Amino acid sequence: IQCEIAAKAGMIIQRVVLNSRPGKNGVPVAENFRLEQSTIADTIQAGQVRVRTLYLSVDPYMRCRMNEDTGSDYLLPWQLSEVADGGGIGVVEESKHHNLAKGDFVTSFNWPWQTLAILDGSLLQKLVPQLVNGRLSYFLGAAGITGLTALLGIKEKGHVTAGANQTMVVSGAAGACGSLAGQIGRLEGCSRVVGIAGTDEKCSLLVQEMGFDAAINYKKGNVAQQLCELCPGGVDVYFDNVGGDISDTVISQMNQNSHIILCGQISQYNKDVPYPPPLPPDIEKIQKERNITRERFLVLNYMDKQEASILQLCQWIQEGKLKVRETVVEGLANIGAAFQSMMNGGNIGKQIVSVSK
């Protein structure tokens, strides 16, 4: 009996598990997740570290992980009653890994949604807070996978050329990736950047704070007419975060030999369709006739360019050339509500959950 009690002993933690699946065509709600108490071992093995979670990232791609089949060959589904995971940042409390010491800040793309965790030290990346002026959460957004997606998407698929008088349109422009993409498009050489968002507040922020030339509230007025007025020379680069009717409208106004950066299709994530979703026949005809590129973009295919790209993003942040917005939710218990809000387009910028407070 004493041995059994010892085996069950450990450190008490809180964690968030997948409570239920919304279904392939269902809309996620906070109740799809469940906060519960659990334990982890009170000792670590060689090569491991014990970390205290500081920040967790909530992202649109996670909607696919709520299904039994993610529809992707690089994303594993979350399992029912098992801890969810994603981008995270924490601080090392104990280390038996040669390259990590107590007090180091570390990150991982597969961080468990729990207050404490024992992780393989070789799978963690050490962070340098000074690169982001001490704003650690930026490593989950502007100086992390989100910023990399925007920068490498534009560089690899946007074919932006300084001095070429190109116009870029960004859908989902007030979101984590879109708000960065518009700014990076300008920094890379686009002469005009127009965003599409869902509220007047978001549109105002894009123009006044993020440096977009103009922004369209797709819930007001005629989007096609506004695009025509704001992009009189047509659209050369389209950073597509949403798909659906908005993207069809943008594509119809794209120029010959223009480019679509296929970043996300959030309007389609609650529908049982392949990725990338097929275009309607009339829009597909336009794409082919005008030789518009629309290739699947996966940032993980460009990890050889990660280090240099992160340093570029950090430099822009330090110089004030890249404005960063975050929506921070306090407490692990609120991560389900944060996920629901994000899927409903309720946040501006990166959605972060602060776990430490």
Lowest mean per-residue pLDDT among 43-57, 120-134, 153-167, 266-280? 266-280
What pLDDT is stored for residue 72 in this prediction? 76
> Can you give the pLDDT at residue 272?
53
Among 144, 150, 139, 143, smallest CA distance to 175 is for 150
Indicate if the pLDDT at residue 105 is higher than 80: yes
Interatomic CA distance for residues 234 and 211, integer angstroms: 20
What are the tens digits of pLDDT across the range 204-230?
999 999 999 999 999 998 999 999 999
The percentage of residues in the chain with a pLDDT greater than 90, rounded to a whole number, is 81
pLDDT of residue 7: 40
pLDDT tens per residue across span 118-138: 999 999 999 999 999 999 999
- Please state, rounded to an integer, the average pLDDT across all residues of the chain: 91
Average pLDDT over residues 308-321: 96
Please state, as a whole number, how many other Cβ atoms lie within 10 Å of the Cβ of residue 228: 13
pLDDT beyond 50 at 270: no
* 288, pLDDT greater than 50: yes
Radius of gyration of the chain (CA): 21
Task: Identify residue 234 by its one-letter amino acid code.
Answer: G
Instruction: Look at residue 4 and tell me whether its pLDDT is greater than 50.
Output: no
In DSSP terms, 33 is beta-bridged to 18
Top pLDDT among 188 and 263 is at 188
Residues in the chain: 357
Question: What average pLDDT score do residues 261-273 get?
Answer: 63
